[in-house]
Amino acid sequence: MKKLLAFVAAAVTCLSLPVFAADVVLWHAYRAGERKALEKVVESFNSSQKDVRIQLLAVPYDAFADKITAAIPRGRGPDLFIFAQDRLGDWAASELIEPLDFWLDEELEQAFLPPTLEALTYDDAVFGLPIAFKMVALIYNKQLVETPPKTTDELVALGKKLTDAKAEKFGLAYENANFWYHGAWMQGFGGRVFDGKGKPTLDTPSVVQSLAFAQELAHASGIMPQEISSTLVTTLFNRGKVGMVINGPWFLGEIDPSVKYAVAPLPTISKNGEAPRPFLTAEGVIMSARAKDKKAAFEVMKHLTSVEAGLVMAKDGRQTTARREVYEDPAVKKDPVLSVFLSQLAKSVPTPNTPAMRMVWTPATTMMNKVINGKVAPEAAAAPAQAEVSELVAGARR
């Protein structure tokens, strides 16, 4: 009788537990507010579903890409993961990720802000649904800057008024030796990483002009500290020792609550009257080619990039979400930070997602360090970078 009762009790317990037809494992690298917002979205999904459950796993960003590359071929990776588009070409060429065109329809394609879906497209196939977009803008301390500059000439003039090098106070700070940050000036001068045929173009007159401008801003203007790191930018801004920084939405979570700040579009380049065009990073929800249940995984992708989820990510996580309809919400529309990043989106260029882009970063970083920290002439720094990238790309093609 005791054994029978125990069996019945166990059976009743099993019947009371939820039975899921599919568990979809999702990896992400979000932190702070974005992580809490994502957890809220997942919790809401899981509580409303009977057949599908999301299992969420946070992975440190620095190790994320390597873990994806190593885990998926061994069948130990996630079904879905959230990542930027810059490694998309590599993973697609290695058949680690699943193209989504089979499930996409025109209505869903039109639901995202351009060019976020374009950024997650490689070789005419879509490999991710956009969840967020990120690029740099001008972030300023409202106690030091009353009106943000509209041109780079105004930026320098205002920066000089704010700078007192002896007191370690500066007008402007950003990671100017970082090629990704430099992309705004390079593309504003008309330069690009590759031409239409995929040939590297790091030594064109437009790129050289942008390097000269960055060097002038770093040294001749006298408004910036030397050898700038991300830590220094944060420290100076939080201590009220720099009036303006160039940074992205991820920086907002690092700002001390006591600092009153605002965000403005990057100032127009006075030398040519053109707007800076920063690199666009589109974060997408990407499906593993080895996802256990691809139909269930795609349903999860649609939910994570839905209007409902986007509103949570925008309002709770302060994320610049990629879903178009989110910005029709009155609260989001009035948000002075999200609205500026939305306006900057139209003046951005997707970071190339081809496998060749991986070969650009190291030579381009060396080029930037020569120009900014070594004070090498722009032409002399650009030529070897162009030669090295061209050689690497040609070798990879062979």
**pLDDT given for residue 239 in this prediction:** 97
Give the pLDDT band of residue 33 (cuts 50, 70, 90). Answer: confident
**CA atoms of 23 and 70, how far apart (whole Å):** 21
**Largest Cα–Cα distance of the chain, in whole Å?**
91
**CA atoms of 32 and 277, how far apart (whole Å):** 28
In the structure encoding, which two tokens stand for residue 171, read together? 């007008």
- Going by C-alpha positions, the residue among 83, 149, 163, 138 that lies closest to residue 353 is 83
In this model, does residue 99 exceed pLDDT 50? yes
Any bridge partners for residue 282, and if so which? 133
* DSSP β-ladder status, 137-141 and 349-350: unpaired
Question: What is the per-residue pLDDT across 157-180, written as a single tens digit (0 to 9) for each?
Answer: 999 999 999 999 999 999 999 999
Output phi, psi for 349, to 5 deg. Answer: -125, 125
Query: What is the residue-wise DSSP string for 363-377?
Result: HHHHHHHHHHTS---
**pLDDT given for residue 18 in this prediction:** 46
In this model, does residue 139 exceed pLDDT 90? yes
| Residue 227 backbone zone (phi > 0: left; psi -120 to 50: alpha; other: beta) | left
First-residue to last-residue Cα distance in the chain: 76
Mean pLDDT across the chain, nearest whole number?
A: 92
**pLDDT given for residue 13 in this prediction:** 44
In this model, does residue 9 exceed pLDDT 60? no
In this model, does residue 12 exceed pLDDT 60? no
> Mean per-residue pLDDT for 257-270?
97
Angle between helical axes of 294-304 and 307-315 (0-180°, round to 10) = 50
pTM flag (> 0.85): yes
| Residue percentage of the chain with pLDDT more than 90 | 87
**CA atoms of 34 and 16, how far apart (whole Å):** 33
> Mean per-residue pLDDT for 263-278?
97
**pLDDT given for residue 16 in this prediction:** 43
CA 296: distance to chain centroid?
26
Residue with tokens 């940074």: 247
> Mean per-residue pLDDT for 242-264?
94
Query: Please, are residues 212 and 378 in contact by the beta-carbon 8 Å criterion?
Result: yes
In the structure encoding, which two tokens stand for residue 3, read together? 């054994």
Q: What Rg value do the Cα atoms of the chain yield, rounded?
A: 24
| Residue 366 burial (10 A CB sphere; 0-12, 13-18, 19+) | middle
**pLDDT given for residue 10 in this prediction:** 46
> Mean per-residue pLDDT for 328-357?
93
Residues, the chain, total?
398
**pLDDT given for residue 15 in this prediction:** 45
Q: Give the type of residue at 242.
A: V
Any bridge partners for residue 80, and if so which? 26, 287
Question: What is the per-residue pLDDT across 311-334, written as a single tens digit (0 to 9) for each?
Answer: 999 999 989 999 999 999 999 999
Q: Apex CA 114: angle with CA 98 and CA 330, to 5°? A: 115
